Amino acid sequence: MRVLVTNPGADVYGSDLQMLESVTALTGAGFDVLVVSPEAGPLTARLTEVGARTEVVRFPVIRRAYLSPTGLVRLGLEVLRAGPALRSTLRSARPDVVYVNTTTIPWWILAARAARVPVLCHVHEAEDADPGPVRRLMAAPLTAADRVLFISLTAERAALEVLPRLRRRSVVILNGVPERPDPPVSPPSGPHPRLGFVSRLSERKAQHVAIAAVDILRRRGRTVELELAGTVYPGNEAYEERLRRDVRDHGLEDLVTFSGYVAPSAAVFDRSDVALSLSTRDALGNVVVEAQLAERPVVAAGVGGHLESIVDGETGLHVPPGDPDAVADAVESLLADPARARQIALAGRESARELFGVRRYGDRVVALVRELAAERPRR
């Protein structure tokens, strides 16, 4: 069976890595998998390693910069220009199923539908803060998919709020997050406790809240270090400049480190005492699970997918979103009670292994794709 997977990029962040797990499961089950993206990148080699073919096909990807009248016009023109390339790819690949990774490339759903090929869209987003018309516009192409795979109940709920009729074709499969190949290691013994924060640098991920929490802790007499691992999307460089300015303004140059992209994430958590994940709108948040598998206590914003990956007080700590004082309080409580921090870390690891196992995830994705492929003769 042939599966055409379309991905909005070739980076190796959350949704990209989850797609890699899907492809690994599909190639392992004997599928011929072709992955297309608008650019080459570090993900390309990893896809080749698991037996997939890759190809660069130029097509636009929805970014927030397009969500304006002029931006939508520009996006429409780019979609029209990309149309022949999409049709040509579908004709040459002759897929049994098209697997569209994320709602940021909805034209692939429509192109597959026009080609009468069953289409699965994997939804990693949970956009519940935008106005209703914007949310409905973003979700509308999902109605053309044969199945909609959500990474969490949070993501499914956000879509069903604006398009209830998606319920009959929606499926929830929690992400599969690989366990680290080596056992977790003890936190390092440095001059100060260390906080690890792995994520794209963006306002919604709230690295600025972490910096403010470090400043609050220092003023309380509790000095901690913070490592920010991640890069910005092209066009969002102003946010990184803001973060670096915050560090300078608070005089935290010796305590806050910008590491850029780090892989695997466990490398950051291994040199940390506490992991942070303060995103205000994550549909799930793989880094929380990765930190739990590294046996680190996690302080996370108590919203979205974090409510599914963490039981507050048992497998991690929830804090109100955007509240640096609450983050400082949670970190201080863990550092003041190492036994409790250790108990939370151990419970978090067991929970992550049970809920987010790779084999469970892969088996369900393969079964779903087989089901869709079996429908093609009837189309």
Question: Which pairs from 148-151 meet CB under 8 Å and 24+ separation?
Answer: 148/120, 148/121, 148/123, 149/120, 149/121, 149/122, 149/123, 149/173, 149/365, 149/368, 150/123, 150/283, 151/18, 151/122, 151/123, 151/124, 151/175, 151/283, 151/284, 151/305
Best CATH choice for the domain 194-355 from the list 3.40.50.2000, 3.40.640.10, 3.30.300.20, 2.40.30.10: 3.40.50.2000
Q: What is the pLDDT of residue 97?
A: 97
Q: What is the pLDDT of residue 54?
A: 97
In eight-state DSSP terms, residue 109 is H
Mean pLDDT in each 10-residue stretch from start to end of the chain (379 residues)? 95 89 97 96 95 96 76 87 95 96 94 95 82 79 95 92 92 93 88 95 96 98 97 89 97 97 92 96 89 97 93 97 97 97 97 94 97 77
What's the pTM?
A: 0.85
Nearby residues of 1 by Cβ (< 8 Å), 6 or more positions away: 30, 31, 32, 96, 97, 369, 370, 373
Q: Give the separation between CA 189 and CA 192, rounded to whole angstroms.
A: 8
**What are the residue ranges spanned by the domains of the chain?**
2-176+357-374, 194-355
Q: Give the separation between CA 293 and CA 287, rounded to whole angstroms.
A: 10
Coil vs helix vs strand at 99: strand
Sequence-ordered alpha helix ranges (H) in 220-298 = 237-250, 266-270, 286-293
Q: Give the separation between CA 318 and CA 306, rounded to whole angstroms.
A: 8
Q: What is the pLDDT of residue 129?
A: 67
Sequence-ordered alpha helix ranges (H) in the chain = 14-28, 42-49, 69-93, 107-114, 132-139, 153-162, 207-219, 237-250, 266-270, 286-293, 306-309, 324-336, 338-355, 358-375
29 to 50, 218, 363, 367: CA distances (angstroms): 12, 53, 9, 10
In eight-state DSSP terms, residue 229 is E
Fold of 2-176+357-374: Rossmann fold (3.40.50)
Q: What is the pLDDT of residue 348?
A: 97
Q: What is the pLDDT of residue 378?
A: 52
Strand partners, 226: 195, 256
Q: What is the pLDDT of residue 73?
A: 86
Coil vs helix vs strand at 172: strand
Strand partners, 277: 300
